[in-house]
Amino acid sequence: MAQTDSTLASTFGKAFASRLERIASSADGVIGYAIVDITSGDRFERLPVTAFPTASTIKLAVLYELFRQADERRIDLNEARPLDRSMAVPGGLLYELTTPSLSLRDLAVAMILQSDNTAANVLIDRLGMDAINARIASLGLQHTRLRRRMIDLAAARRGDENTSTPADLAALLIAFHEGRGLTAESKKAALEILEKRKPSPISAGVPQDVAIASKDGDLEGVRADAGIVYVPGRPYVFVVMGTFLRETGEIQKPLEDLARVTYEYFSRRDTISAYGRKLGPG
């Protein structure tokens, strides 16, 4: 973690880091995270470069490639894409429909807002898995790989799992936030899709009136959430990834607790001085 403005603020940050570690280490499984203060660049990390299964957070990479190809005029976001039933998989509304034809933009909304797996597969097929991976690599995401379509159990059993690290997903979110490689229009459109509120560990830990641009995911024994939390004056990136988790009704609690204490930390940093004095509402 980088040095902050004063010894007191640094001590406050260290106490926050200890709270994060206690929550993560008490989980019945393996938890990693990368939390980045966009204002200062300070980072709080646990297993930041360890590869975890991504579940649906890999759809962030699909969304990024979609808008990059649109900016390069390789695709038209209004292009209607008929659904090939051979690509339909459980997990979302499109699986229940017969032969829907949606635009690439609408497929992206379904993929992010409803985590629709069929929509994701149609987009992967249109954009190209190799193209998505090449783009990921060009951003410097060394440990992120899209190896299979959604719900391809045969591929997963072969070891072709979609993987990333907390640090890689944080870097991808910062690329969205900064509009790296995107036109201003595409940056705005992508973030508008990501900001559509949906149930997730981050949402459970952040008040409804605070904007979040995020994507979560879950598989058997796996949970992940990755987002930008727009605390006024103190936005931050929050990525948490968990695996080997026991499937119980409390499986998401460690992720939600991490999201909650992180919001509490950044909301307080926004309204206090470097010496800890409260300067405004919060």
Nearest to 41 by CA among 211, 184, 210, 171: 171
Instruction: Write out the E strands in the chain.
Output: 30-37, 43-46, 52-53, 80-82, 101-103, 163-164, 212-219, 222-229, 236-243
Nearest Cα to 44, choosing from 25, 23, 68, 16?
16
**Domain range annotation of the chain:** 7-271
31: helix, coil or strand? strand
Report which of residues 17 and 87 the model is more confident about: 17
Helix or strand or coil: residue 15?
helix
pLDDT in tens, 119-155: 899 999 999 999 999 999 999 999 999 998 877 767 6
Give me 162's structure tokens.
């979609």
- Quote the DSSP letter at residue 7: H
Report the pLDDT averaged over residues 148-167: 81
- CB-CB contact of 228 with 237 (8 Å): yes
Task: Select the more confidently predicted residue: 212 or 92.
Answer: 212
Q: Residue 52: its pLDDT value, please?
A: 97
Per-residue DSSP letters for 202-235?
A: HHHHS-TTS-EEEEEEEETTEEEEEEEE--TT--
- What is the percent of the chain with per-residue pLDDT over 90, rounded to a whole number? 72
Chain-centre distance for alpha carbon 13: 23
Give the dihedral of Cα atoms 44, 193, 219, 208; nearest 10 deg.
60
Radius of gyration of the chain (CA): 19
CA distance 239 to 249: 22
- State the DSSP code for 93: S
- Please report which confidence band the pLDDT of residue 3 belongs to, taking 50, 70 and 90 as the band edges: very low
Q: Determine the pLDDT at residue 9.
A: 81
Which CATH superfamily, name and number, covers 7-271?
DD-peptidase/beta-lactamase superfamily (3.40.710.10)
Cα separations in angstroms, 145 against 132, 233, 272: 9, 33, 40
